[in-house]
Amino acid sequence: MKFSFQWLAIVILILAVAVLYAQRFTDTQKTVYVDSNKLVNGYKGMQDAKKAYQQKATQWKANVDTLTSELQAAIMKYEKEVGTMTPKEKSLSQELLRQKQKQLGEFQQAMNTKAQQEDGQMTTQVITQINAYLKKYGKKKGYRIIFAATDYGNIAYAEDDMDITEEVLEGLNSEYQGK
């Protein structure tokens, strides 16, 4: 009889451990996900950052266009006057045009580099804001983990009720507008 009580105690202990294990790792209320693309694109902070970036990009393009127009005008002037120039004037004019072309190319390259840097900084700032909000939100709601679904398929399947994207986006935008 002593053997069966021990056996029964071991079985009950194993079942209790299995139940606790199952509860801990299958608690769907504590594991959720957000659609990262919807979250980033729907975030008002990202939308405002994109608008600010577009304004800067428009100004950069206008500056490049101005320099390009100046270069084209100088080329047209040269072509118009080349027939009346002395060899020395012709040589000086050609050198001046080469320098303007070089300056334009360098300016365009600098603007492209600046645009990439600004885009990267903008994106990093927005992602940092979103991640900080997700951390705060997750703690407030008692979530153990919040996954992020991307276009690359990090989450192959999840039930619809695990997607908290809209709720997070609403809170994130509300907090952003309150700043």
The pLDDT of residue 60: 93
pLDDT in tens, 32-56: 989 998 999 999 999 999 999 999 9
69 lies in which domain range?
2-177
14 pLDDT tier (thresholds 50, 70, 90): confident
* Chain centroid offset of residue 19 CA: 42
Per-residue buried b or exposed e for 28-51, using 16+ beta carbons within 10 Å of the residue's own CB: eeeebbbbbeebbebbebbeebee
Amino acid present at 77: K
Q: What is the CATH number of the domain that holds 96?
A: 3.30.910.20
Helix (H, G, I), strand (E, B) or coil at 148: strand
Number of domains the chain is built from: 1
Q: What is the pTM of this model?
A: 0.71
pLDDT in tens, 107-153: 999 999 999 999 999 999 999 999 999 999 999 998 888 988 887 76
